[in-house]
Amino acid sequence: MYSYAVIKLRKYVTISVPQEVKKTLKKAKGREEWGKFLLNLYQETKRLKSKRAFEELTSTLTDEELKTILESSKEFRERFTLR
């Protein structure tokens, strides 16, 4: 019986950016691999944008409106079942 090692080859692409941008990002990433660094950067940016949007929304609502939303959400979760 033969045993084969499977090697998955990743596709790589080049992203053109100004030298100063690359210099700044390279310093920030340290020893981390570029792909992982950029994905982490994207995920953190996405998280912070969501947080900011939530904070802006809650600042526009009254305490009574927030309480009503919380109660509705709780009721929905209690009644929700998969069929």
Q: Let me know if residue 2 belongs to a domain.
A: no
Q: Let me know if residue 22 belongs to a domain.
A: no
Residue-number span of the structural domain to which 49 is assigned: 33-79
Q: Let me know if residue 10 belongs to a domain.
A: no
Q: Let me know if residue 75 belongs to a domain.
A: yes
Q: 1 pLDDT band (50/70/90 cuts)?
A: low
| CA dist list (Å): 33 to 44, 64, 70, 77 | 16, 48, 41, 40
Rounded mean pLDDT of the chain? 90
**Predicted confidence (pLDDT) per residue in 56-81, tens digit:** 988 899 999 989 999 999 999 888 87
Give me the number of domains the chain comprises.
Answer: 1
| CA dist list (Å): 72 to 15, 35, 51, 64, 75 | 46, 41, 21, 12, 5
